[in-house]
A and B are shown apart, each in its own frame.
Chain A
Amino acid sequence: MAKCELRVGGLGGQGVILCGMIIGKAASIYDGKEATLIQAFGPEARGSACSAQVTISDEVIGYPYVKSPDLLIVMSIDAAAQFVPTLKPGGLVLYETDMVSSMPPLPAGARALGIPATRFAEELGRRLVLNIVMVGFFAGVTGLVSWEAVEKAVRASVPKGTEDLNLRALRKGHDYGRELAAPKAEVAA
């Protein structure tokens, strides 16, 4: 992988920024790669559009903004409508199936994989960990960050006392992603 540009999109309050931050932290601090994070918020704290742009690379990143991502993580129907048309041909969309009920037409060669992350999070006991399920799903499908790195990044990023549940959410998404992507998913880079 030379460079992978990804965008995480959803609603404020879903933990979109934390999702992007953990992916970037896993790649840069724990996997030794380069990573950047750009955050964008809607005008209100909750319920409005929110997105994070993450770039992961083996080399120094000169430009951190993501205009046309290789990979999308979308957690709302609005985010899917807004960002899927910007996906590179051959790219990958990872989406939350309960929140994204309809997917815009994908660019040529692109594919989409869904996960009922909200339901998984609720089954684990907290809807709040939806974003961590998505982080695990991303790691499991793409392999762009190692399990060890993403586990450490989650442990270092979530409040004390919530680690166990967050790590279970991560594992749930990761295992689901690995199963769905088997034998191996390839991501445009």
Chain B
Amino acid sequence: MNLSCYPAKLALRDGSTVTLRPMEAKDGLGVLDFFRALPEEDRLFLRDNVTNAEWLDRFVRQIDFNAMVPLLAEHEGKVVGNATLQRSLHGWSTHVGELRVAVARAFQHKGLGSLLARELVRIAVDAGLEKMVVSVMDNQIGAKRAFEKLGFRPEAVLKGHVKDTHGAKRDLVIMSNDVSHIWEAMACLTRDYEPSLG
């Protein structure tokens, strides 16, 4: 996947700036600090135990920009956002990418989550992926709205699939974004067919 446009400095809604760049092996400790500083209820949304140093070590060792793009948002040298696009290079879903986004509490509601998600969508489209999916809990209204603005729509609901901090079961909403139509438009343009002459 092409990451030549990074590092990129971008402004948030409140005027503060963050630098986006792909995560590297040397970022391990900074990322660990970021995840450990997330409130527990935010960490619930993440599939892995991201505060575990061993998990992070495994994660860093398997960074392969063809299969996975972990993007970091930094502010004043500190990691304030992490977003990952993962795709399978084998099997029946090589055309699908999965997004995960986490933002430090102090940087939430400033558009950083949307910005990270938008970057991943752009990278995915460029890489030729045709569909993207993201999982959100049914009460993550803000996250759902942000993904809807990027073209994601609820595709499946897994009832009682996750438990929140209070132990209550909640529905997991799988949202998807079919971007194949973008390239269908390009295919139409290159069809070299003029109906009036055909």
Interface residues of A (CB under 8 A from B): 11-18, 39, 41, 43-46, 50, 124-126, 128-129, 131, 157-162, 164-166, 168
Contact = CB atoms under 8 A, between A and B. Distances in A.
B119 to A, nearest CB: 11
A15 B182 contact: no
Contact of B122 (A45, A50, A164): A164
Interface of B: 2, 122, 125-128, 179, 182-183, 185-187, 189-194, 197-198
Nearest to A40: B197
A45 B191 contact: yes
B198 A15 contact: no
B190 A128 contact: yes
Contacts, number: 74
Contacts of A125: 2, 126-128
B191 A13 contact: yes
B194 A39 contact: yes
11 contacts: A15-B192, A17-B194, A46-B193, A124-B2, A125-B126, A157-B189, A160-B182, A161-B182, A162-B186, A164-B122, A164-B125
A168 B4 CA distance: 11
B185 A41 contact: no
Contact of A159 (B122, B189, B191): B189
A125 B126 CA distance: 7
B40 to A, nearest CB: 37
A45 B192 contact: yes
B189 A45 contact: no
A162 B179 CA distance: 10
Contacts of A129: 186
Contact of A161 (B125, B192, B193): B125
B189 A15 contact: yes
Given A125-B126, A161-B125, 18 more contacts: A11-B192, A13-B190, A13-B191, A15-B189, A18-B190, A39-B194, A39-B197, A41-B193, A41-B197, A41-B198, A43-B198, A46-B193, A50-B192, A131-B190, A159-B189, A160-B182, A162-B182, A168-B2
Given A15-B192, A50-B192, A161 B128 contact: no
A14 B186 CA distance: 11
